[in-house]
Amino acid sequence: HGQVLKQFRDPDLGRRMAESTRQRLQRLADKLGRRPRFMEFCGTHTAAISRTGVRGVLKTEVDLLSGPGCPVCVSDYSDIDRAIAFSTVPGAIVATFGDMMKVPGSRTTLQEEKARGADVRVVYSSLDALQLARENPDRPVIFLGVGFETTAPTAVMTLEQAVREDIRNFYLYSMHKTTPPPTRALLPDPELQIDGIILPGHVSMILGRKAWDFLPSKLQRPGVVAGFEPVELLAAIDTLADMLLTGNLSVVNQYGRAVREEGNLVAQQAMDKYYSLVDGPWRGLGTVAGSVLKLKQEYAPWDAEACFAVNVPPTQIPKGCICGEIVKGKQSPFDCALFGKGCDPIRPVGPCMVSSEGTCATYYKYERM
């Protein structure tokens, strides 16, 4: 395995591949009459494409747009506000991943509420939250479930454990989302002119390659399920260009060491058992049909939304923040007047600067001259 990874990071191989990819992209540009545009739908790819220098190396040949691939960033203000409001439930412990702490809601953050005395704890997994519930049987422990297919199954597998042990003070607030629906929603947008998609590696481990077959069949776009090493990213871009040149569009799995055709059936079954897919809001995209995973009615005793009525303030978007446009790939962080001038990772104005998977945070770290 180590040997394989070494090869994926081989600088000589990378340079040779970059050259041939550049030539292929130029041929594609000639065919299209403009620069090709590819989008990645995964925050880890956004960071990897910048960190490895792939974005810079190919910047004259291809536009690499970053899509809605950061779960914190695509959580709507109303969801963030509700998550923060749960910290006001009497006696409650709110358990969350670290990157939610600084995410600005309309008026405050979880971190600010903690400073004011709310009991908000950073956990590393949903199982840690369940342990908090075991240790504090008299207090409601509300776990904030944020993330795509990679974290949605683990949250309900934890819930399964709570059901099995009859732990009644563990609650899930599910903001979990699935990734194919926003892909379907964004691609036809003529303003974006996306020619091909770099498909998420980790999400595809759960969903399987075939979950993306609708791209060529319904939307006439090619896709490549890609890994995260420089050579893998270059290979994905090269393959997209090749498919567009030949007109032979499909979904190619280039992350075969982790992604299977059918995906992870155990995780898929857990999701089917506990969640219903409902229409729900995404930052920037508005309501996306069948995209949000909410607990089914029969699990209402563990559903924070069903059990605690909280006051959610009217949404207020911070002045000047264009995070909603950034998650759609319509604008870049450089288009935001606050980027580095009032908004930075220490004092983030919007969620795109908070999460390490956020496009603004990535550009702040790697793309500033």
Count of residues engaged in binding ligand SF4, rule: CB under 6 A: 16
Our finding on whether 199 is near ligand SF4 (CB under 6 A) is: no
Q: Which is nearer to ligand SF4, 293 or 336 (CB)?
A: 336
Helix, strand, coil percent values for the chain (each to nearest 5): 45, 15, 40
- Minimum distance from residue 333 beta carbon to ligand SF4 (Å): 5
Extract the tokens encoding 263: 């995906």
Residue closer to ligand SF4 (CB basis): 120 or 354: 354
Q: Taking the CB of residue 334, how many other CB atoms lie within 10 A of it?
A: 11
Which residue from 118, 120, 251, 349 is in contact with ligand SF4, where contact means CB under 6 A?
349
| Rounded least distance, CB 309 to ligand SF4, Å | 31
**Is the CB of 71 or the CB of 348 nearer to ligand SF4?**
348
Candidate residues 95, 350, 357, 362; the one interacting with ligand SF4 per rule CB under 6 A: 350
Are 358 and 345 a contacting pair, CB within 8 Å?
A: no
Site map (CB under 6 A) of ligand SF4, residues 266-305, x = contact: ----------------------------------------
The smaller minimum CB distance to ligand SF4, of residues 267 and 323, is found at 323
Hey, how many other C-beta atoms are within 10 angstroms of the C-beta on 154? 16
Tokens (6 digits) for 76: 């709507």
74 in Cβ contact with 68 (< 8 Å): yes
Type of residue at 321: C
Residue 360 makes contact with ligand SF4 by CB under 6 A: yes
Near ligand SF4 by CB under 6 A: residue from 353, 355, 357, 362:
353
Nearer to ligand SF4, 243 or 360 (CB): 360
| Least separation in angstroms between CB 364 and ligand SF4 | 8
Q: Which is nearer to ligand SF4, 108 or 136 (CB)?
A: 108
Shortest CA distance to 363 belongs to which of 155, 20, 16, 56? Answer: 56
CB 125 → ligand SF4: shortest distance, Å?
A: 27
Taking a C-beta distance cutoff of 8 angstroms, is the pair 100, 128 a contact? no
**Residue 144 or residue 338: which is nearer to ligand SF4 going by CB?**
338
CB of residue 41 vs ligand SF4: minimum separation in angstroms? Answer: 18
Specify the 3-state DSSP secondary structure of 281: strand
User: Which contiguous run of DSSP H or E holds residue 359?
Assistant: helix 359-366
Residue of this chain nearest to ligand SF4 (CB atom): 350
CA distance 162 to 36: 49
CA dist., res. 43 & res. 362, Å (int): 9
| Encoded tokens for 125 | 């997994």
Q: Residue 123 or 323: which CB sits closer to ligand SF4?
A: 323
CA–CA dist 22, 59 (Å, integer): 10
Alpha-carbon span 336 to 143, nearest angstrom:
33
307-346 residues near ligand SF4, rule: CB under 6 A = 320-323, 326, 333, 336, 338-339, 343
Angle at which helices 230-246 and 43-51 pack, to 10 degrees?
110
CB of residue 95 vs ligand SF4: minimum separation in angstroms? Answer: 25
Shortest distance in whole angstroms from residue 352 CB to ligand SF4: 4
The footprint of ligand SF4 (CB under 6 A) covers 320-323, 326, 333, 336, 338-339, 343, 348-350, 352-353, 360
